[in-house]
Chains A and B, each alone.
Chain A
Amino acid sequence: MAYRSVIPTPPEAEAKPAPQFDSLRQQYEADTLGIWIFLASEILFFGGVFMTYTVYRAAYPEAFEAASGRLDLLLGGINTAILLTSSLTMTLADDAVLPRNRKALIGWLAVTALLGAVFLAIKGVEYSLEFGAHLAPIFARPFEFPEPHTEQARLFFSFYFALTGLHAVHLFIGIVVVLIMLVLAIRGAPRLEAKVTIAGLYWHLVDLIWVFVFPLLYLAARHG
Chain B
Amino acid sequence: MTTAAVSPPKNYLNRDYGIASWLTTIDHKRIAWLYLVSITAFFFFGGAAATLIRLELATPAADVVETETYNRLFSLHGIVMVWFFLVPSIPATLGNFLIPLMIGARDVAFPRLNLLSWYLYIVGGVFTLAMAVAGGVDTGWTFYTPYSSLFANGQVVLAVVGVIVTGFSSILTGLNFIVTVHKMRAPGLHWTRLPLFVWANYATAIIMVLATPVLAITLLLIALERILGIGIFDPKVGGDPVLFQHLFWFYSHPAVYIMILPGMGVVSEIITCFARKRIFGYDGMAFALLAIALIGFLVWGHHLFVAGESVYAGVIFSLLSFMVAVPSGIKVFNWAATLYKGSVSFETPMLYAMGFVGLFTVGGLTGITVAATAVDVHVHDTYFVIAHFHYIMVGGMVMAYFGGLHFWWPKMTGRMYPDVWGRVAAITIFVGFNLTFFPQFVLGYLGMPRRYHTYPDEFQLLNVLSSAGAPVLAIGYLLPLVYLLYSLRWGPVAGSNPWEAKGLEWQTPSPPPEHNFDRLPIVTEEPYAYGLPKRDSDAARG
Contacts and interface: CB of A to CB of B under 8 A. Distances in A.
A204 to B, nearest CB: 18
A34 B108 CA distance: 12
Interface string A54-74: 011001100000000000000
Given A152-B238, A155-B237, A55 B183 contact: no
B170 to A, nearest CB: 10
Interface of A: 19-21, 26, 29-30, 33-34, 37-38, 40-42, 44-49, 51-52, 55-56, 59-60, 137-140, 151-152, 154-155, 158-159, 161-162
Contacts of B175: 34, 37-38, 41
Nearest to B177: A37
Contacts of B209: 37, 40-41
B228 A138 contact: yes
Interface stretch (B38-46, B70-78, B214-222, B349-357): B214-222
A20 B111 contact: yes
Give the 10 A-B CB pairs with smallest separation, nearest first: A158-B230, A45-B213, A20-B107, A48-B217, A44-B213, A151-B237, A30-B183, A30-B109, A48-B214, A138-B228
B178 interface: yes
B232 interface: yes
Interface string B234-262: 00111110010001001000000000000
Given A19-B515, A41-B212, A52-B243, A159 B232 contact: yes
Contacts of A60: 238
Nearest to A20: B107
A212 to B, nearest CB: 14
Nearest to A34: B179
B231 A33 contact: no
A41 B171 contact: yes
Nearest to B112: A18
Given A33-B178, A48-B218, A159-B232, 6 more contacts: A34-B175, A37-B175, A47-B213, A47-B214, A48-B247, A55-B243
A51 to B, nearest CB: 8
A155 B110 contact: no
A49 B217 contact: yes
Contact of B105 (A20, A45, A137, A161): A20
A35 to B, nearest CB: 9
A29 B243 CA distance: 39
B182 interface: yes
A163 to B, nearest CB: 10
Given A45-B213, A152-B237, A159-B232, A52 B247 contact: yes
A163 B126 CA distance: 28
Contacts of A158: 224, 228, 230-232
B96 to A, nearest CB: 13
A59 B238 contact: yes
A19 B231 contact: no
B450 interface: no
B230 A161 contact: yes
A79 B277 CA distance: 63
